[in-house]
Amino acid sequence: MALAFGMSLGIDFFGRFELKLNGDVLAFIRTIHFNQALMMWMLSFLLFAGALTVNLAEFCHHRSRIIAQ
Protein backbone atom coordinates (compact mmCIF):
# COMPACT_ATOMS: atom_id res chain seq x y z
CA MET A 1 0.00 0.00 0.00
CA ALA A 2 2.83 2.36 0.86
CA LEU A 3 4.56 1.46 -2.40
CA ALA A 4 1.44 2.21 -4.42
CA PHE A 5 0.97 5.49 -2.57
CA GLY A 6 4.58 6.45 -3.22
CA MET A 7 4.29 5.62 -6.91
CA SER A 8 1.09 7.66 -7.15
CA LEU A 9 2.78 10.65 -5.54
CA GLY A 10 5.71 10.32 -7.93
CA ILE A 11 3.46 10.20 -10.99
CA ASP A 12 1.49 13.15 -9.67
CA PHE A 13 4.72 15.08 -9.12
CA PHE A 14 5.85 14.48 -12.70
CA GLY A 15 2.42 15.45 -14.01
CA ARG A 16 2.07 18.66 -12.02
CA PHE A 17 5.44 20.08 -12.92
CA GLU A 18 5.39 18.70 -16.46
CA LEU A 19 8.72 17.03 -15.98
CA LYS A 20 9.53 14.71 -18.81
CA LEU A 21 10.41 11.13 -18.01
CA ASN A 22 13.63 10.15 -19.72
CA GLY A 23 13.76 7.26 -22.15
CA ASP A 24 15.17 4.79 -19.63
CA VAL A 25 12.28 5.25 -17.22
CA LEU A 26 9.71 4.94 -20.01
CA ALA A 27 11.44 1.82 -21.35
CA PHE A 28 11.36 0.28 -17.87
CA ILE A 29 7.66 1.05 -17.42
CA ARG A 30 6.87 -0.48 -20.80
CA THR A 31 8.65 -3.74 -19.86
CA ILE A 32 6.35 -4.34 -16.87
CA HIS A 33 3.85 -7.08 -17.69
CA PHE A 34 0.64 -6.06 -15.95
CA ASN A 35 -0.82 -9.56 -15.78
CA GLN A 36 2.31 -11.01 -14.21
CA ALA A 37 2.69 -8.11 -11.80
CA LEU A 38 -0.93 -8.40 -10.74
CA MET A 39 -1.13 -12.17 -10.41
CA MET A 40 2.35 -12.84 -9.01
CA TRP A 41 2.92 -9.87 -6.70
CA MET A 42 -0.11 -7.75 -5.92
CA LEU A 43 -2.57 -10.61 -5.47
CA SER A 44 -0.37 -12.38 -2.92
CA PHE A 45 -0.09 -9.22 -0.82
CA LEU A 46 -3.84 -8.63 -1.01
CA LEU A 47 -4.60 -12.21 0.03
CA PHE A 48 -2.16 -11.93 2.93
CA ALA A 49 -3.75 -8.66 4.06
CA GLY A 50 -7.18 -10.26 3.84
CA ALA A 51 -6.03 -13.21 5.93
CA LEU A 52 -4.90 -10.82 8.66
CA THR A 53 -8.48 -9.66 9.11
CA VAL A 54 -9.88 -13.16 9.80
CA ASN A 55 -11.45 -13.38 13.25
CA LEU A 56 -10.48 -16.83 14.52
CA ALA A 57 -12.97 -16.72 17.38
CA GLU A 58 -15.80 -16.12 14.91
CA PHE A 59 -14.40 -18.83 12.66
CA CYS A 60 -14.43 -21.36 15.49
CA HIS A 61 -17.98 -20.32 16.40
CA HIS A 62 -19.20 -21.21 12.87
CA ARG A 63 -16.93 -24.21 12.45
CA SER A 64 -19.75 -26.77 12.16
CA ARG A 65 -21.48 -24.84 9.36
CA ILE A 66 -18.21 -24.43 7.47
CA ILE A 67 -17.33 -28.13 7.72
CA ALA A 68 -20.85 -29.19 6.69
CA GLN A 69 -20.56 -27.37 3.39
**Predicted pLDDT at 59:** 83
pLDDT for 26-69, tens place per residue? 788 788 888 888 888 888 888 888 888 888 888 888 888 888 87
Query: pLDDT band for position 7 (50/70/90)?
Result: confident
Q: Model-level pTM? A: 0.38
**Per residue, what are the HEC states of the chain?**
CHHHHHHHHHHHHHHHCCCCCCHHHHHHHHHCCHHHHHHHHHHHHHHHHHHHCCCHHHHHHCHHHHHHC
CA–CA distance, 19 with 54 (Å, rounded to integer): 44
**Predicted pLDDT at 19:** 59
Q: Distance between the two ends of the chain, CA-based, in angstroms?
A: 34
Return the higher-pLDDT residue of 28 and 17. 28
